[in-house]
Structure 1
Amino acid sequence: MTGAFPNLFSPIAVGPYTLRNRIMNTGHAAHHQTGDGTPSEAYVHYLRERAKGGAGIIVTAHTVPVYDGETSLSLTNFHDGILPIYRRIAAAAHEFDVPILAQLGHRGRRVADDSAFIGRPVMAPSAVPPPDFSVPVYMPHELTTAEAEALVGSFAAAARRMRLSGFDGIELAVGMDYLFANFLHPHGNRRTDKYGGGTLAERMTFLRETLEAVRSELGAGRILGIRLYDDVMDYSLKLADLVELSRLLDRAGLVDYFNIWHGIVPSPKQGRMHWPSYYYGPGAFTYLPEAVKAVVSRPVVGTGRMDSPAVAERALADGKADIIGMAKTLIADPHFPNKAREGRVEDIRPCIACTQACVGHVDIGLGVGCIYNPVTGREKDWAELRPADARKKVVIVGAGPAGMEAARIAALRGHEVVLMDRNRRMGGQIALAMRTPDRSGFEEITLWFERQLPKHGVEIRLGTEATVESVLAAGPDEIVLATGSTAWLPEIEGTDRPHVFTARGVLSGANAVGESVLVVDTLGRAEAATTADYLAARGHRVELLTGLETVAPLMPSPARHHLLEKLMKAGVALTTHAALWEIGDTGAEAYNTVTWEPRTISGFDSIVFGSGGKADTGLYRGLSALHGSVHAIGDCFQPRDIETAVVDGHRVARSL
């Protein structure tokens, strides 16, 4: 059944295979791996869930054919010891008749971490580092001709391992200022041997030899594709280069499909397009596959904010792509394909492009998750939901992220669920995030729960102020308190003055600020920085002050970098290493957190703190004394964030 999306769910031939639909789970760094890059069992289950969810084809994260250090960002593919785990990965996809490819590449001169000093050799066609001074610049080892030839052999050996593991093919990664891009671009390739040259066709020798070697190992019965990355920067491959490269490869018949996306090079400004946040609109990048389709005869994959089946269907119908690549979309909901095919669009959990738990996790060395799908990254333990042993009546107070998820899971397990909230709409603090610029998409979280909870039989009582008496009167077997937190002000002298507010008070409209505002960040997350953006957009003069080393360091990197640019262009003064210790009627006293040198701050009408909250435990204390099974979740347990609140709610509901 193709329903409303006939193009998305029509088959397509890719090399010797016919895919059952046009959805590709594109290769991305899910980071479920050991330090040396060996995939974990969690990664097996992560990919299995996406196959079960109905993807037409799956590509793994970037694998490397050579040793990549003890803190590899890529997956290991350089020794035969990895065959058992890759066989389990292949079997997990094939269980649902979904072909799976391994992305394969080499990081070349690209240094995205400190691995240059702990085991990963940095090498390139020429001893030329990228001229990007927003990151440390390291000099690479210049490959000899023999070393380059040996690398071609390493790629062939990696392809052999994937064939022996039961994989259906290879996708070669070209771009990202990685090794193939270094060979293809004149900035990185100044060689005079067979791998050099004055034209792109001449500099293709290393890529061509590798493709031929990989094809020889795979045979004609498997897929060989290529993922091209528009690096945007002048020192690496740009779209025009990739279009010409695609034309040459297509004419030579070296690949079965083309997959094009934005690369991520050392420059943070360019890199934020690789994992696009809410600052980019849905379907914003279809110009990439459209440009390649104009010069090739083989299928072209297009990706980037393909957040709904309608957006994906339109890209196909308009001829801008032949296959739709999805990464974050399937991170948010791996069952997106099956739900769209079955006409259950309202059940799709849409990606809101916050990058909070996908890129945000990778930023700090964790495996990929999702801000409001707690199963993502936990598929091994949570992919299956068992019915409750006995039906109970569960009363949940608080319809924020934690309470909504607890209600959903408890109802799905067969419990009778009552959800109470004093507000007239569910969502809790999501309503505040929605009010800040460019973040209205956070409403999708609330909208999804508003669709799901009634469907699962949850009795929702909004505009209801829960008390100890009213909760007990409902006759609960289990009580779950998700009463959230109250805004908190740090223990600084003067915070009781009438011109001192919290970010929550400002965003809710409860507090009106003056023309000049000092916003103070004590968390390092989004609260203060997005409030500064909110105020600047309304014409206030704003200084954002923090005692931390950088502004909002715990925001996910793509959204954070874009926000910083907005704040800078809006004239918001960004002050780091500065903390307040006293607030007066006309100014405030601060100190440098490194030198302890004092500073007097004046000229502000209002001071706004982005300092999070304090757990609202009043109801919890009252009920705990009178009932034997009371659970505190979300901010009621400890004020944190949406993601952790949702995980809390999910975990507790599984235990009831």
Structure 2
Amino acid sequence: MYETINSPINYGGLELKNRIIFAPTTFGLAEDEYFEKIRKIAAGGCAMVIIGDVPVGKSQFEKSLFDKKGFAHYQKLVEIVHSYDCRICAQLHQTDSNMLAMLKYVPGVLTKKISMEELRPLLNAEVAPYISKLSARKIHKIINGFGEAAVLAVKAGFDMVQVHGDRMCGSFSSTVFNHRTDEYGGSAENRARFAVEAVKAIRSRLPEIPIDYKLAVRQEDPHYGNAGVLESELGIFVPLLTDAGVTSFHVTLANHSSLEDTIPPANHPYFKEQGCFLKFCDEVRQYTDKPITGVGGLNQPDFVEQQLASGRITCAAMSRQLLADPEWPNKVASGQIKEIHRCVRCNKKCLGGLQQHQGTHCIYEKV
């Protein structure tokens, strides 16, 4: 039973022991507590853990591969995950937030006069002018940073890198935020250029490294997501990214709207069903034969097995479900299905905890 879930797979050049991946997640926790969360997830039997938001340069706000302390942090994560026969992937990203513009909101955030929910639209409003006015010199420096960060990630022990196709890559891809008139703006080919060159910067330095791409898809009618790639433009973006060196795609809804859209609760007006983002995988599949990971409220073994066995997706990525029960893969493998703590997609302690500056947790935890 659940033969496909439990079967090994070559995922874009990387051998995985099964088909379950822990999706990149923001935790907002102290380092020791974060390490313990990752340890439990790796010990629970998933095939790979994706570490979210690894910056492609020095950073005052995030752990960076470019400084000694940050590099040691990532080495420790690699050591923890590898000790459970689990692979680990570094999600390389460049923020599209205008840091200078952000400073004016810092006092309000620190005094909690501005909540995380209120901060999001304020920062989103700054993205278009920032992306549209970014100098070519700065763009090239950031692109080069993707390559340098990938090299450092490999030195730290990561098995794979993922290019974060939302954030700056997604904003360059989107006409909502990208109003440039040079070679990085205008046509879909031009708007894809930043992401394509970021992938090439990695591939030129690391010819053999598996490169996953988090492909953020923007939907219209009804409109969801502001960054990312329009569904109608996937036929342009996907082949360009593949030719640049992408070996697999992690497909989801584009960001820069309400977090409840990209992390939809069970009562979401549109994305309430399990597998809510898998339709985007179907669209991407028209343009590539590379492995595809699907996400979107996945929690039921029977449903996940069906999607994998049919070939609709190659792997299934979960965040909230593996927070609710890190042992989901082990329990599925041993037939303990009734023992699984199912994520109910309430968003109370995961997304809600993060927004309330309490860290990402779950209602099943005692915190």
| Both structures adopt the same fold (TM-score exceeding 0.5) | yes
Is the Cα contact below 8 Å between 1:26 and 1:326 reproduced in 2?
A: yes
Question: Match of 1:434?
Answer: none
2:169 corresponds to 1:180? yes
Q: CA deviation at 1:77?
A: 4.1
Whole-Å separation in 2 of the counterparts to 1:110 and 1:321? 36
Alpha-carbon distance, 1:110 to partner: 7.3
Report the CA distance between 1:78 and its aligned residue.
4.2
Contact 1:45 1:92 in 2 (8 A): no
Query: Which of residues 203, 206, 221 in structure 1 aligns to 2:194?
Result: 206
Partner of 1:21: 18
Matched residue, 1:438: none
Q: Of the candidates 213, 225, 247, which is equivalent to residue 212 of structure 2?
A: 225
- Matching of residue 83 in structure 1 with residue 71 in structure 2: yes
Maintained 8 Å contact 1:163/1:218: no
**Which whole-Å CA distance do the structure 1 matches of 2:188 and 2:213 have between them?**
17
Counterpart position of 2:363: 371
Identify the match of residue 150 of structure 1 among 114, 131, 141.
141
1:10–1:21 CA contact under 8 A, matched in 2 = yes
1:168 matched to which residue of 2? 159
Q: Give the conservation status (yes or no) of the 8 Å contact 2:225–2:255.
A: no
Instruction: Note if 1:140 corresponds to 2:127.
Output: no
What residue identity is the alignment partner of 1:166?
G
User: TM-score, normalised on structure 2?
Assistant: 0.85
1:65 maps to what in 2?
56
Q: Does 1:11 align with 2:2?
A: no
- Is the 1:30–1:367 contact (alpha carbons within 8 Å) kept by the matching residues of 2? yes
Confirm or deny that 1:54 pairs with 2:45.
yes
| Counterpart position of 1:277 | 265
Query: Alignment partner for residue 341 of structure 2, among 349, 353, 364?
Result: 349
CA drift of 1:118 comes to: 4.7
Shift of the 161–117 alpha-carbon distance from structure 1 to 2, 3 Å rule, reads farther
| Distance (whole Å) between structure 2 residues aligned to residue 16 and residue 165 of structure 1 | 19
Q: Give the AA of the match of 2:130.
A: P
Distance 2:151 2:178 in 1: 28
What is the CA–CA distance in structure 2 between the aligned matches of 1:199 and 1:276, rounded to whole Å?
A: 31
1-structure distance, mates of 2:98, 2:262: 15
Which residue is 1:215 aligned to?
A: 203
Is the contact between residue 199 and residue 241 of structure 2 (CA under 8 Å) also seen in structure 1?
no
Q: Please name the residue that 1:93 is paired with.
A: 81
8 A contact 1:229–1:260 mirrored in 2: yes
Q: Are the equivalent residues in 1 in contact too, given 2:291–2:314 (CA < 8 A)?
A: yes
Give the Å deviation of 1:104.
1.3
TM-score (normalised: structure 1): 0.49
Q: Secondary structure at the match of 2:211?
A: strand
Higher normalized helix content (fraction of residues) = 2
8 A contact 1:54–1:338 mirrored in 2: yes
Displacement of 1:32: 2.3
Equivalent position to 1:195, from 167, 178, 184: 184
SS at match of 1:283: coil
- 8 Å Cα contact 1:169/1:218 also seen in 2: no
1:247 offset after TM fit, Å?
3.0
The structure that is strand-richer by fraction is 1
> Are the equivalent residues in 2 in contact too, given 1:56–1:98 (CA < 8 A)?
yes
**2:175 partner SS:** coil
Matches within 5 A, 1:619-638: none
Query: 1:304-315 counterparts in 2 under 5 A?
Result: 304-315=296-307
1:273 counterpart SS class: helix
Instruction: For 2:197 and 2:244, locate their aligned partners in 1 and report how far apart those are by CA, in whole Å.
Output: 13
- Structure of larger gyration radius: 1
| Equivalent-residue separation in structure 1 for 2:285 and 2:309 (angstroms) | 14
**Deviation per CA, 1:108-159, whole angstroms, max 9, x where unpaired?**
1479x9556559xxxxxxxxxxxxx993333427221111111112222221
CA contact (8 A) 2:147 2:205 kept: yes
- Distance in 1 separating the partners of 2:203 and 2:176: 28
> Residues of 1 paired with 2:159 and 2:104: CA distance?
33
Cα deviation 1:464-507 (Å, max 9, x = unaligned): xxxxxxxxxxxxxxxxxxxxxxxxxxxxxxxxxxxxxxxxxxxx
- Residue deviations 1:69-88, cap 9 Å, x none? 5xx4x553443431111111
Question: Does the 8 Å CA contact 2:94/2:142 hold for their aligned counterparts?
Answer: no
The answer on whether the counterparts of 1:29 and 1:61 sit within 8 Å (CA) in structure 2 is yes
Partner residue in 1 for 2:113: none
Distance 1:171 1:223 in 2: 8
Contact 2:90 2:161 in 1 (8 A): yes
Gap change, CA 1:337 and 1:246, over 3 Å in 2: same
Aligned residue among 254, 260, 264 for 1:263:
254
Matched to 2:354, the amino acid is V
- Return closer, same or farther for 1:147/1:114 CA change in 2, 3 Å cut-off: closer
Instruction: Tell me which of the two structures has the higher relative contact order, counting C-alpha pairs closer than 8 angstroms and 6 or more residues apart.
Output: 2
- Rounded to whole Å, the distance in 1 between the matches of 2:288 and 2:63 is 30
Matches within 5 A, 1:308-327: 308-327=300-319
Displacement after TM superposition at 1:22 (Å): 0.6
Gaps of 5+ in 2: 108-118
Give 2:261's aligned amino acid.
M
Q: Indicate which of 281, 286, 291 corresponds to 1:289.
A: 281
Question: How many angstroms apart in 1 are the aligned matches of 2:322 and 2:177?
Answer: 35
Give the SS at the match of 1:301. strand
Within 2, Cα distance between the matches of 1:322 and 1:101? 17
Amino acid corresponding to residue 172 of structure 1 in structure 2: V
Q: Aligned partners of 1:140 and 1:201: how far apart in 2? A: 20
CA contact (8 A) 2:39 2:80 kept: yes
Q: 1:68 to 1:262 in 2, by over 3 A?
A: farther
Matched, 1:244 2:231: no
Percent sequence identity is: 24
In 1, Cα distance between the equivalents of 2:255 and 2:162? 18
1:361-400 to 2 correspondence within 5 Å?
361-374=353-366
Q: Conserved in 2, the CA contact under 8 Å of 1:278 and 1:353?
A: yes
Amino acid across the alignment from 1:65? V
> Deviation string for 1:15-38 (max 9, x for gaps)?
3321111101110112225xxxxx
Aligned to 2:70, the other structure's residue is in SS state: helix
Q: Distance in 2 between matches of 1:318 and 1:110?
A: 43
